[in-house]
Structure 1
Amino acid sequence: MTIPVKQLSDPAVREFVTALNANDESALFEAMTPGATMSDDGSDRDVREWLDREVFASRGHMDVVSEADGGRSLVADYRNDTWGSMRTKWVFTVDGGKVSRFETGQA
């Protein structure tokens, strides 16, 4: 059972996931603060390079399974053309209504 994106609790996270699932690069960067940061499995990565590789070039998509912490912590089935499907966790930091950091990794 997945949670429809439009029902995610945090508006900034909802905007981020909506843009990611639409493979909409401009909307995804609009959902983040300038200078936003991220980590993948505990290692900081360059946001633009990671999104280009793991989302845009490989058609990444999140099916959210659960949320916690007011919608800023998600468990999702993430899939892309490179890695297939895997259970992942996502933790978001939101500042001023935009995502300033996200951390992801296998759940």
Structure 2
Amino acid sequence: MIPVNQLGDPAVRAFVTAVNAGDREAFGAALTPGATMSDDGTDRDVDDWAEREIFSSHGHMDVEAESDGGRSLVADYRNDTWGAMRTAWRFTVDDGRVSRFETGQA
């Protein structure tokens, strides 16, 4: 497992830190205005998805591997709704913040 503070991309590091802390404010700050995302190939509303999959269900990422300069991750993701699953994450970063993320089962 890769400690969060050792993730290679600072924007992705801020994103994962916010997810693991359940910190809505830090999560919002890690994203650009109008950031987009997809889950298993389907675009979702970021705010609705984050509330359901992260905040109200206590989401947590344990990063196993990173590539693409830290903008692609494989992580064990768990929450109270779905339990634990191996997931892949790909991030687009603009001006030091995440403008898009894509996640799905790995």
Give the equivalent residue in structure 2 for 1:13: 12
Give the equivalent residue in structure 1 for 2:76: 77
Root-mean-square deviation over aligned CA pairs: 0.2
- Give distance in 1, aligned partners of 2:93 and 2:102: 12
- Structure 2: state its 5+ residue gaps: none
Give 3-state SS (helix, strand or coil) of 2:62's partner: strand
Please give the per-residue CA displacement for 1:38-85, whole angstroms capped at 9, x wherever unaligned.
000000000000000000000000000000000000000000000000
Q: Would you identify which runs of 4 or more consecutive aligned residues in structure 1 move more than 2 Å?
A: none
- Give distance in 2, aligned partners of 1:96 and 1:21: 23
- Give distance in 2, aligned partners of 1:51 and 1:96: 22
| Structure 2 letter corresponding to 1:76 | A
- Give distance in 2, aligned partners of 1:34 and 1:78: 25
Give the equivalent residue in structure 2 for 1:61: 60
| Structure 1 letter corresponding to 2:30 | A
Q: TM-score, normalised by structure 1?
A: 0.99
- Structure 1: state its 5+ residue gaps: none
Give the equivalent residue in structure 1 for 2:96: 97
